[in-house]
């Protein structure tokens, strides 16, 4: 379906839980987040129903995220159900990778096409620091399992954080020389209570090009992909730059979001949320709600304006 700006909305990102087994400093506030009642969270069947209706509006791709989607009970069953919905061509998942060793094979068998794995550093101690206790080895084991299960091509999300991982940019870029992977650098966005922290630790992605002058721009097949792609000469993999702040991509945004507690978000960076859970639970028709969410999708976000106030909901409750 086209929104008011003429953008074709065909991508639904679903946060399946706001729980996470890591505590990334930029994603989860210091004091944590209030745990929701089980009954506030959409069930597997409710999510399936919303995806079915979305597919009638032209949604073709679904990404499961969180929180950490792999801590959600029934995640494999959910992937299977969504993969079987007519009109859904691709089910993908964004994960911190720590539980992939356990789930990669069954997710692939259930119909999952691809995974994006978040990994902000290649150093054990720094990984433990930024995630407040995570073990890098768990992610590395997860990556191996994902490769062996055929969840490819693998994409890695690296959030650039000033003074934390800007000294590892070349190491990440060099991984693309021998590996058929995408390393995607993401600009740190001010969201929720950590908004100030994010503003202080922001570095524009142009630093990746400054540090790697050999990178050559390559055309992306998917025009609505948020990443601009580059390659090192002779490299097997690609480098992606996702620049929501220094060069936003709102004019080609093709997505809406569904939170774990049943709100549709037309834009990640707007406080506007439309409740879909109560209509669903009262047996009502959710098609008009999804239609409205697409209609009211803002033209663009305002993150790069001086007086911008970060949205209230935390990233862990929306699903990056």
Q: What letter would DSSP give residue 260?
A: T
Query: x-or-dash pattern for ligand SAM, window 169-208, by CB under 6 A?
Result: -----------------x-xx-x------x----------
Q: How many angstroms separate the CA atoms of 159 and 202, rounded?
A: 10
Read off the DSSP letter of residue 156.
Answer: E
- 241 beta partners: 185, 228
From 95, 149, 176, 243, residue interacting with ligand SAM (rule: CB under 6 A): 95
Angle between helices 136-148 and 100-110 (to 10 degrees): 30
Interaction residues for ligand SAM, span 56-85 (CB under 6 A) = 65-66, 68
Q: Which of 10, 118, 165, 259 binds ligand SAM (CB under 6 A)?
A: 118
Does 94 belong to an annotated binding site?
yes
- Residue (27 or 143) nearer to ligand SAM, CB: 27
**Do the Cβ atoms of 71 and 282 come closer than 8 Å?**
no
Which is nearest to 110 in space by CA: 48, 153, 22, 66?
A: 48
Residue 157 touching ligand SAM (CB under 6 A): yes
Give dist(CA 59, CA 254) in Å, integer.
9
* 37 annotated to a ligand binding site: no
Handedness of CA 191, 157, 319, 87 (dihedral sign): positive
Distance CA 286, CA 237 (A): 41
Tell me: is residue 7 an annotated ligand-binding position.
no
Task: Pick between residue 149 and residue 157 the one whose CB is nearest to ligand SAM.
Answer: 157
**Closer residue to ligand SAM (CB): 3 or 120:** 120
Which residues does the annotation place in the binding site for S-adenosyl-L-methionine? 26, 67, 118, 189
- Residues interacting with ligand SAM, by CB under 6 A? 20, 26-27, 65-66, 68, 94-96, 118, 157, 159, 186, 188-189, 191, 198, 315-316, 319-320
Which residues does the annotation place in the binding site? 13, 20, 24, 26-27, 63, 67, 94, 118, 155, 189, 250, 253, 255-257, 267
């Amino acid at each position: 379906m086209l929104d008011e700006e003429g953008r074709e909305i065909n991508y639904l990102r679903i946060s399946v839980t706001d729980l996470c087994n890591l505590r990334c400093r930029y994603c989860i506030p210091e004091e944590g987040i209030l745990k929701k009642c089980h009954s506030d969270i959409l069930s597997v069947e409710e999510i399936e129903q919303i995806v079915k209706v979305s597919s009638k509006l032209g949604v073709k791709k679904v990404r499961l995220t969180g929180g950490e989607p792999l801590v959600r009970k029934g995640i494999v069953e959910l992937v299977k159900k969504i993969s079987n919905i007519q009109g859904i061509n691709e089910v993908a998942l964004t994960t911190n990778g720590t539980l992939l060793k356990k789930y990669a094979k069954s997710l692939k068998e259930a119909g999952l096409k691809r995974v994006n794995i978040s990994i902000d550093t290649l150093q054990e101690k720094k990984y433990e620091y930024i995630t407040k206790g995570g073990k890098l080895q768990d992610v590395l084991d997860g990556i191996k399992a994902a490769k062996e299960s055929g969840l490819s091509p693998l994409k890695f999300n690296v959030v650039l954080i000033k003074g934390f991982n800007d000294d590892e940019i070349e190491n990440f870029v060099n991984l693309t020389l021998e590996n058929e992977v995408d390393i995607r650098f993401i600009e740190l966005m001010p969201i929720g209570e950590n908004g100030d922290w994010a503003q202080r630790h922001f570095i524009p992605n142009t630093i990746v090009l400054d540090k790697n002058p050999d990178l050559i721009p390559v055309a992306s097949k998917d025009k609505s992909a948020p990443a601009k792609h580059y390659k090192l000469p002779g490299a097997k993999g690609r480098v992606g730059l996702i620049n929501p702040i220094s060069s936003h991509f709102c004019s080609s945004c093709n997505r809406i979001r569904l939170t774990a507690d049943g709100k549709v978000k037309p834009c990640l960076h707007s406080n506007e949320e439309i409740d879909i859970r109560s209509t669903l639970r009262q047996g009502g028709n959710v098609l008009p709600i999804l239609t409205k969410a697409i209609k009211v999708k803002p033209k663009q976000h305002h993150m790069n304006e001086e007086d911008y106030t970060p949205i209230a909901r935390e990233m862990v409750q929306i699903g990056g």
